[in-house]
Amino acid sequence: MLEQDKLLHGFALLLCISLGSLLSGIAVSEIPLGSKLSVGESNSWVSSNGDFAIGFYNFPDQPKQFSVGIRFNSKFVPVDKQTVVWVAGGDVTVGNNSYFQLQENGELVLFDALQGEEVWTSKTSQLSVALAVLCDDGNLVLLNENRDVIWQSFDSPTDTLLPGQRLSTFRTLRAASQNYVSSLYSLYMNVSGQLQLKWESSIIYWSAGRPSHSNLSAVLTSDGSLQLVAPNLERFWSVFGEDHNDTVRFRFLRLDVDGNLRLYSWMEVSQTWRSVWQAVENQCNVFATCDQQGICAFNASGSHVCTCPFHHAVQSNSKCLVSSQHDCKPGSIMVEHANMFLYGIYPVHDFISRTSLDKCKSMCLSDPSCTAVTFTNDGSAKCRMMKTQYVSGYSDPSLSATSFVKRCSDPLAADPIFPLKSPPQAHKEPYNICIPCLVGAASGTIFVFIVIQLGMGFYLYKRKNNYRRLASLAHSRPGSKCLIMLSFTEIKELTGNFNDQIGPKMFKGALPDKQPVAVKELEGTIEARKFRAAVSKVGSIYHKGLAKLEGYCCEFNHRYLVYEYAENGSLEKYIENPTLAERLTWRKRMDISLNVGRAIFYLHTECREFLCHGNLKCENVVLDENFEAKVKEFGLGMLYGEASSRRASAQKDVEDFGKMVLTLVSGFKEVKDVLDWAYKEWMEGHPENVVDKRLKNEVDAEELECALRITFWCLQADERVKPSMGEVVKVLEGTLPADPPPPPFSCLISAREVEDTSESGSEV
């Protein structure tokens, strides 16, 4: 693995040198240190040929939110067609009076005047940057005095590739965000040489290339071809647009918001961008293309549409959700939908078994948590069971799939409304009336009545308003992506006045729909703008291995975070409690390690901007009702101003992950006390001695060897030989071998010895 890294770094260095020498011979518009772009001035930096410009822009539906991006600027392209091809910080937006500057220290900085802080930087302040250049191909580069490339926008793409730009191993394109929420669609170049379209991080719905070639890059050529090439430019796979080899002035490849990858060409005659190739021909085959809007199908004109065929579905805010009523008094029935394939989203954990159609139906009917099943018989009979309201899929007459959706056999009957009987009329007797007394009594009564009504009205208004806001949070379940701001009063209502403490400064609460949540109390001294910026960023992240942030409170000196609730609590209590530890089987411990590793890898590489956890430990890993691990309290370092380099932050997460895996293997919470012993036992050929004695004879020897090796690599004192989280996940998945590691905390190993070890063919 280290050998491969050296090749990659060597190739990148050669590319930088060659690009730097090319730049010195091209007439380009130089951007000196200190240059600034601002929202108010609407200025921009333009390439020497005028084809590209970088500056602030916004969208009509977000008039007060601005981003910095590189866009087409050619006089041949109308202003409304000048597509943005790169955005600083991806999803980062700023307010009025903000600026983007190449500072005197050589660092590009995006400063948000609204938050009063830097929200994105190029992290090049220590790299002797002398100037910047926006090249004629749309690449923004930072150069030193020797014209060597120090940093370039081509190395950190957002959702677009331009001709000549490479998507190298572990690089990602991510579709643009919508409604302030990061997209779950990404294009990823894996280590095996495959280009993959993913939803979330685990669902691959399109791939190109064979998984036998490593160190490949995806590149878009100027003649309209997408290729997978080796460092020596040998081509291993290619696909061509409809206008391949035609004379086209501009092209770009973009991962669109609908999850499809498309190649666009500029049409001079029609003055439009036209899609000349797309990765997934049938849009309905893009995973979750309808998201929460139902099932994908094609109408009479051949266009794909999203429909909600569940006649008794729960309609909430235009969402198409299947029923989740498991306590139907008259019983449940299965409604058949022919030629329809369904799958669960939020989460995507469908249960697949081989069985008959009738057995498939009966299994769902007998399982209270089952909401729908799909039976397919395309060579082998399979039953896909869903246990979530959030179901998507596609329908087509050619599909050999039949789906069944559970619902109550009878709708709930409305209670009959009976007319109220009139009270018997009192017998009227003649009496004398005191007019002044009557007027005085009536006036007083009316006055008191008005005061009481106003008081009750105000009270009910406040209570109703609170309830509506809490109800909106109730609908913000795993499929919903809104982040709710709560008052301190609402936090107290959620938690029953903090009655149920489930951890240090952590309380259990419940939404109006009885869905439980976990409320975390933070220090009230956290600066409000920094707090809101951090939770906005964390709240836009969704991954099945991360505990979702549902809402927050930032009122006066109160700071609270509201997370989805995990039924089985923290991993720490299962490690410490001898009885509970028996539920942590060897298989479950390895699954937890892999799921946590994938979640941290997602934070490091698949979010728009790098995010570290900063405090990964068993206490911050929780287990849901299915005993699936979820990582909580990630990204909180931003709240406390814990600034460090991306590399240092990533390495801390790697080290913390290694400690957690060793805890899972050994059962010891404080691994620093047993690390040397564990390594000694492993070196002497007795790895089984390290295993938690509470485990039965169920340990897989190969998995144990793999887990210990990657643990010792993660805990290396020499940071130069620590693996990345991507490499850690590959090792745990069994797709990447790991060489025997040197002693983890031995300070006696010299740098020379470490280099000799890595040069001898070490894989990690």
Model confidence at 369: pLDDT above 90:
no
Find tokens 């909600």 and name the residue: 308
Model confidence at 14: pLDDT above 50:
no
Range of weakest confidence among 281-285, 418-422, 533-537:
418-422
Q: Which residues, 6 or more positions from 406, have their beta carbon under 8 angstroms from its beta carbon? A: 322, 323, 332, 333, 334, 335, 364, 365, 370, 371, 372
Q: What is the enclosing helix (H) or strand (E) of 507?
A: strand 506-510
Task: Pick the more confident residue, 555 or 296.
Answer: 296
The span from the CA of 5 to the CA of 134, in Å, is: 29
Pairing of strands 391-395, 295-298: parallel
What average pLDDT does the structure give for the chain?
A: 81
Task: Pick the more confident residue, 192 or 31.
Answer: 31
Model confidence at 455: pLDDT above 70:
no
Q: Grade residue 704 by pLDDT with cuts at 50, 70 and 90.
A: very high
In the prediction, which pLDDT does 180 show? 62
Stretch 684-690: mean pLDDT: 92
Q: What are phi and psi of 273, to 5 degrees?
A: -90, 130
In the prediction, which pLDDT does 434 show? 57
SS3 annotation, 536-572? HHHHCCCCCCECCEEEEEEECCEEEEEEECCCCCEHH
Domains and CATH numbers, the chain: 27-156 (2.90.10.10), 160-280 (2.90.10.10), 314-408 (3.50.4.10), 484-564 (3.30.200.20), 571-733 (1.10.510.10)
In the prediction, which pLDDT does 31 show? 95
Find tokens 């946590």 and name the residue: 596
Q: Is there a cis peptide before residue 347, judged by omega within 30 degrees of 0?
A: yes
SS3 annotation, 57-96? EEECCEEEEEEEEEEECCCCCCHHHCCEEEECCCCCCECC
The pairs formed by 736-739 with CB atoms below 8 angstroms and a separation of 24 or more are: 736/1, 736/191, 736/763, 736/764, 737/763, 738/706, 738/709, 738/710, 738/713, 738/763, 738/764, 739/709, 739/763, 739/764
In this prediction, what percent of the chain has a pLDDT beyond 90? 44
In the prediction, which pLDDT does 182 show? 73
Stretch 72-90: mean pLDDT: 94
Q: Grade residue 451 by pLDDT with cuts at 50, 70 and 90.
A: low
Strand, coil or helix: what is 395?
A: strand
Q: What is the pLDDT of residues 202-251, one digit of tens each?
A: 789 999 988 777 789 999 999 999 999 998 888 899 999 988 888 899 99
Find tokens 């370092």 and name the residue: 637
The span from the CA of 224 to the CA of 51, in Å, is: 18
Report yes or no: 665 and 711 within 8 Å, Cβ to Cβ: yes
Residue 391 exposed, middle or buried by CB count within 10 Å (0-12, 13-18, 19+): buried
* Number of helices (H), then strands (E), in the chain: 13, 43
Q: What is the pLDDT of residues 514-550, one digit of tens each?
A: 779 999 998 888 888 788 888 878 887 878 899 988 8
Beta strand residue intervals within 116-222, DSSP E: 117-121, 131-134, 140-143, 149-152, 160-161, 166-167, 172-174, 185-189, 195-199, 203-208, 217-220
Q: Which residues, 6 or more positions from 177, have their beta carbon under 8 angstroms from its beta carbon? A: 90, 91, 183, 540, 608
Q: What are phi and psi of 182, to 5 degrees?
A: -65, 140
Q: CA angle at residue 711 from 3 to 349, to 5 degrees?
A: 100
Q: What is the enclosing helix (H) or strand (E) of 703?
A: helix 701-714
Report yes or no: 540 and 524 within 8 Å, Cβ to Cβ: no
Strand, coil or helix: what is 37?
A: strand
Q: Which residues, 6 or more positions from 20, have their beta carbon under 8 angstroms from its beta carbon? A: 143, 146, 147, 148, 149
Stretch 268-278: mean pLDDT: 94
Please give the span between the terminal C-alpha atoms of the chain, in angstroms, as a whole number: 5
Report yes or no: 110 and 120 within 8 Å, Cβ to Cβ: yes
Report yes or no: 52 and 71 within 8 Å, Cβ to Cβ: yes
- Which residues is 262 bridged to in the sheet? 254, 278
Range of weakest confidence among 338-342, 347-351, 471-475, 676-680:
471-475
Report yes or no: 632 and 624 within 8 Å, Cβ to Cβ: no
In the prediction, which pLDDT does 206 show? 95
DSSP per position, 476-499 = -STT----EEE-HHHHHHHHTTTT
Query: Nearest-CA neighbor of 229 among 11, 18, 10, 16?
Result: 11
Report yes or no: 130 and 136 within 8 Å, Cβ to Cβ: no
DSSP single-letter state for residue 543: -
Report yes or no: 476 and 482 within 8 Å, Cβ to Cβ: yes
In the prediction, which pLDDT does 441 show? 60
Query: Nearest-CA neighbor of 22 among 149, 129, 127, 122?
Result: 149
DSSP single-letter state for residue 279: S
Q: What is the pLDDT of residues 168-182, one digit of tens each?
A: 988 889 998 876 667
136, two tokens: 């004629």
In the prediction, which pLDDT does 105 show? 95
Looking at the chain, how many residues does it have?
764
Find tokens 């990823």 and name the residue: 188
Stretch 288-292: mean pLDDT: 90
Q: What is the enclosing helix (H) or strand (E) of 110?
A: strand 108-112
682, two tokens: 């492993």
240, two tokens: 């061509």
Task: Pick the more confident residue, 96 or 719.
Answer: 96
Model confidence at 73: pLDDT above 90:
yes
Model confidence at 143: pLDDT above 80:
yes
Model confidence at 426: pLDDT above 80:
no
User: Cα 340 to the chain's mean position, in Å?
Assistant: 28
Stretch 498-509: mean pLDDT: 89
Range of weakest confidence among 433-437, 509-513, 668-672:
433-437
In the prediction, which pLDDT does 12 show? 36
The span from the CA of 303 to the CA of 567, in Å, is: 43
Query: Nearest-CA neighbor of 626 among 691, 710, 566?
Result: 566
User: Cα 579 to the chain's mean position, in Å?
Assistant: 35
Sheet holding 372-377, edge to edge: 332-338, 401-408, 372-377, 381-386, 351-353
262, two tokens: 């498309």
Report yes or no: 521 and 505 within 8 Å, Cβ to Cβ: yes
Query: Nearest-CA neighbor of 570 among 694, 462, 660?
Result: 660
User: Cα 111 to the chain's mean position, in Å?
Assistant: 24
Task: Pick the more confident residue, 377 or 278.
Answer: 278
In the prediction, which pLDDT does 447 show? 61
User: Cα 139 to the chain's mean position, in Å?
Assistant: 27
The span from the CA of 689 to the CA of 253, in Å, is: 54
In the prediction, which pLDDT does 448 show? 59
Query: Nearest-CA neighbor of 170 among 649, 601, 594, 734?
Result: 601
The span from the CA of 51 to the CA of 571, in Å, is: 55
Stretch 728-741: mean pLDDT: 86
In the prediction, which pLDDT does 152 show? 96
The span from the CA of 291 to the CA of 211, in Å, is: 29
The span from the CA of 724 to the CA of 743, in Å, is: 18
In the prediction, which pLDDT does 322 show? 86
Number of other residues whose CB lies within 10 A of the CB of residue 427: 5
| Rounded-to-5 percentages of helix, strand, coil across the chain | 30, 30, 45
Report yes or no: 560 and 520 within 8 Å, Cβ to Cβ: yes
560, two tokens: 């609270």
Strand, coil or helix: what is 754?
A: helix
Task: Pick the more confident residue, 135 or 611.
Answer: 135
Q: What is the enclosing helix (H) or strand (E) of 549?
A: strand 549-555
Instruction: Kindly state the greatest CA–CA separation across the chain.
Output: 116
Q: What is the pLDDT of residues 336-354, one digit of tens each?
A: 999 999 999 887 778 889 8
Q: Which residues, 6 or more positions from 692, have their beta carbon under 8 angstroms from its beta carbon? A: 581, 665, 666, 667
